[in-house]
Structure 1
């Protein structure tokens, strides 16, 4: 990962946490029902997730009380606008934007000396069956302050009220209570610590529950796509919902997405794009076996590229050039079928969200398409960073250099 870090492509916007902030973060963990971290320093993203703590706990979802109960932690106003690096749902980023939009000023004040625990309550205590994810609708966002600071404020106000009543101003016991509270928590009387509950409505989304599930419910018919085959097989037994259910590697899925005007393709158009160029070079790299030149040079130098293309065995060469071969044959006859010439996974990678979709749905469908066939390193990095990082570790160093250059030149 060092290469990615040096290029600022690996979690480069994390916020460092140390000192008092560690103490406050731990209080949030305890309040949410988790065990404190033993780390003295770590970093967090926009929702309060820390890669170092995840590694310590050997649990990427350590901020979840089960898959149905995710949480967040805010200890700094600097979290506003920061990425959510490992969202449990694709709408997590939108939720955090919403939280800071409504409560941003209060958060800035509260986090001067406190921290905020976020409870994302979708009205589901626990998941029991894979299609329980369809129950997601409205999410209530509850806020809880560590040390019950809001309740301490109420106590201070009551003490002041008591102090001002009759001759209580001479009562040394009340004096002491006021002073002790002020020393411990400061003067809270004029601070607005009330973070009222927020409501967030979901539509189509992806969740990491049940091994990863896409819920597409803003289209002709609701479609549920499972990444995990075990949960897919379990879900198709459930007849309580009128939805279409697919495993992500089922060829029928792409047919249905095209039929429902969710995705589209145009091979003649796409071959002229930089995206196709990236995909084709990625495909080429998969067939390079112990090349004499660095892979980066082969992919960037047209002469070297052509040289190594011709060194591939005939079947590999056909796969790399399958789209061009199909389009050439199409010029002479329309009898040829895409499936007969173009490699299936390459063909799937050349799809895109339908142009009629709004931006929010396009992002979700791009993520789905990347998970169906990950061949565009740029979109892979954008839409499924964790899977990208896992694959990146296995690549040749020179190929890594090409990938980093490709991504860096496009962001």
Structure 2
């Protein structure tokens, strides 16, 4: 992973923590979780407070994600809202954290001046044993504490203020008045600073969970659709009258579901030609074939002439694979007619021609699913399914890793919002690195 780290393709855009008082607040949060204090004087954190260096020190990447459910968080600064989430078991962790930051901005700003917030995103289950456990998660509650007990002190001070206002002889209680002065020195004027978060409960919308090799859950009113490997415990057993189950290799049913629920943007000239997405995928099929045939090939130095020569010499291989000629023919048809009749396309090829509908709330999740179904497109896989990308990267040859890093640096990292907008029609990153 050294090459990825140097190129900031893993653990990128994290926040440096090196000020002693912030390190100490972080340690108090770790202790509250029952974890050892860190001996590090400097580390970097993501939006949830996860630090790769501390994960290495503890030998536990899930130190803030026990049982991979009820995710923990540590907030040292409101600036964390601008960071990605680099390690999580649920795809919507970043979205939930964004909602929490936005709904409680005033309290977070006030508290983190003198304290750190920590706690858990509590689900309705403590352990995931089957699909039904995942489906039972309808909402989450943020259980919030503070490292220096500032929240508790503010709550106690508010209670004493209320007593002072309502109990006639409270002014004569010197012990209570002294306690109020002591608390006010630490919590400040609670009439001016809203230290208690305003909203702690949030809906658990459509998501991907990394349990059982990956489970997609989509919500449409009272109907739920689960897409995963059919060997997952509980597949087709839970609430069959309310839950539809689709196998991850059933391209026809997956496409029918996404298209019928208007989550897909079908191939039309209006976006295909401007985006360059289909040509991008066509190029990806060729580089994938080159690597498959000769893992030692130096694609980082390959120009168009080299690739054209390779394609002429390997025409039979390209025809047998089918993806490149299929995409070239699709581009020709779109240029001539403006669209493609998807019912005439074999199920295996349909996901090569589509992207998530850009303005749909599930756009990131749908693009993640598409990238998993078209794994040769390592660029899209990196953008939408980083864990899947990292797993694939580990299996690449050294030469191909070099080419992958160079390609991502030259294309996606150069201007991420512009790249996402052009190829996929979306710009907001939702906390992704």
User: TM-score scaled to structure 1, two decimals?
Assistant: 0.79
How far apart are residue 84 of structure 1 and its match?
A: 1.7
Q: 1:400 aligns with which of 401, 405, 424?
A: 405
Q: Deviations over 1:29-82 (max 9, x none)?
A: 332344444433221111212222233344433223423322221111221222
Taking a change above 3 Å as real, the CA distance of residues 47 and 179 of structure 1, as seen in their structure-2 partners, is: same
Q: Deviations over 1:159-189 (max 9, x none)?
A: 997xx95494xx9x997x889878xx74645
Are the aligned partners of 1:90 and 1:207 in contact in 2 as well (CA < 8 Å)? Answer: yes
Are the aligned partners of 2:117 and 2:145 in contact in 1 as well (CA < 8 Å)? Answer: yes
How far apart are residue 398 of structure 1 and its match?
A: 3.4
Q: Please list, as runs of the form range in 1=range in 2, the aligned pairs for 1:201-220 lying within 5 A after superposition.
A: 201-218=203-220
* Residue number in structure 2 paired with 1:363: 364
Are the aligned partners of 1:265 and 1:350 in contact in 2 as well (CA < 8 Å)? Answer: yes
How far apart are residue 11 of structure 1 and its match?
A: 2.7
Q: Please list, as runs of the form range in 1=range in 2, the aligned pairs for 1:87-106 lying within 5 A after superposition.
A: 87-106=88-107
Quote the Cα distance in structure 1 between the aligned partners of 2:105 and 2:51.
21
Are the aligned partners of 1:258 and 1:264 in contact in 2 as well (CA < 8 Å)? Answer: no
Are the aligned partners of 2:142 and 2:200 in contact in 1 as well (CA < 8 Å)? Answer: yes
Q: Please list, as runs of the form range in 1=range in 2, the aligned pairs for 1:317-328 lying within 5 A after superposition.
A: 317-319=319-321, 321-323=324-326
* Residue number in structure 1 paired with 2:352: 349
* Residue number in structure 1 paired with 2:17: 17
Are the aligned partners of 1:143 and 1:196 in contact in 2 as well (CA < 8 Å)? Answer: no
How far apart are residue 285 of structure 1 and its match?
A: 1.6
How far apart are residue 215 of structure 1 and its match?
A: 0.9
Quote the Cα distance in structure 2 between the aligned partners of 1:32 and 1:44.
17
Taking a change above 3 Å as real, the CA distance of residues 81 and 257 of structure 1, as seen in their structure-2 partners, is: same
Q: Please list, as runs of the form range in 1=range in 2, the aligned pairs for 1:59-74 lying within 5 A after superposition.
A: 59-74=60-75
Q: Deviations over 1:269-315 (max 9, x none)?
A: 858852222222222122224499731343xx332221011122613
Q: Please list, as runs of the form range in 1=range in 2, the aligned pairs for 1:21-32 lying within 5 A after superposition.
A: 21-32=22-33
Are the aligned partners of 1:205 and 1:214 in contact in 2 as well (CA < 8 Å)? Answer: yes
Higher RCO, 1 or 2 (CA under 8 Å, sep at least 6)? 2
Q: Please list, as runs of the form range in 1=range in 2, the aligned pairs for 1:150-161 lying within 5 A after superposition.
A: 150-153=151-154
Taking a change above 3 Å as real, the CA distance of residues 187 and 408 of structure 1, as seen in their structure-2 partners, is: closer
Taking a change above 3 Å as real, the CA distance of residues 252 and 105 of structure 1, as seen in their structure-2 partners, is: same
Q: Please list, as runs of the form range in 1=range in 2, the aligned pairs for 1:43-54 lying within 5 A after superposition.
A: 43-54=44-55
Taking a change above 3 Å as real, the CA distance of residues 167 and 402 of structure 1, as seen in their structure-2 partners, is: closer
How far apart are residue 129 of structure 1 and its match?
A: 2.8
Taking a change above 3 Å as real, the CA distance of residues 360 and 59 of structure 1, as seen in their structure-2 partners, is: farther
SS in 2 for 1:97: helix
Q: 2:308 aligns with which of 299, 306, 309?
A: 306
SS in 2 for 1:195: coil
Does residue 296 of structure 2 align to residue 284 of structure 1?
A: no
Are the aligned partners of 1:142 and 1:196 in contact in 2 as well (CA < 8 Å)? Answer: no
How far apart are residue 365 of structure 1 and its match?
A: 0.7
SS in 2 for 1:407: coil
Are the aligned partners of 1:156 and 1:188 in contact in 2 as well (CA < 8 Å)? Answer: no
Q: CA RMSD in A?
A: 4.0
Are the aligned partners of 2:278 and 2:331 in contact in 1 as well (CA < 8 Å)? Answer: no
- Matched positions, count: 392
SS in 2 for 1:63: coil
Taking a change above 3 Å as real, the CA distance of residues 85 and 253 of structure 1, as seen in their structure-2 partners, is: farther
Does residue 149 of structure 2 align to residue 148 of structure 1?
A: yes
Name the larger-Rg structure.
1
Quote the Cα distance in structure 2 between the aligned partners of 1:212 and 1:4.
24
How far apart are residue 391 of structure 1 and its match?
A: 2.9
How far apart are residue 243 of structure 1 and its match?
A: 1.6
Are the aligned partners of 2:263 and 2:362 in contact in 1 as well (CA < 8 Å)? Answer: no
Quote the Cα distance in structure 1 between the aligned partners of 2:105 and 2:69.
26
Q: Please list, as runs of the form range in 1=range in 2, the aligned pairs for 1:102-141 lying within 5 A after superposition.
A: 102-141=103-142
How far apart are residue 224 of structure 1 and its match?
A: 0.1
Quote the Cα distance in structure 2 between the aligned partners of 1:82 and 1:390.
23
Taking a change above 3 Å as real, the CA distance of residues 285 and 242 of structure 1, as seen in their structure-2 partners, is: same
* Residue number in structure 2 paired with 1:374: 375
Taking a change above 3 Å as real, the CA distance of residues 384 and 105 of structure 1, as seen in their structure-2 partners, is: same
Taking a change above 3 Å as real, the CA distance of residues 93 and 307 of structure 1, as seen in their structure-2 partners, is: same
Are the aligned partners of 1:222 and 1:243 in contact in 2 as well (CA < 8 Å)? Answer: yes
Structure 1, gaps ≥5 residues long: none
* Residue number in structure 2 paired with 1:195: 197
Are the aligned partners of 1:206 and 1:364 in contact in 2 as well (CA < 8 Å)? Answer: yes
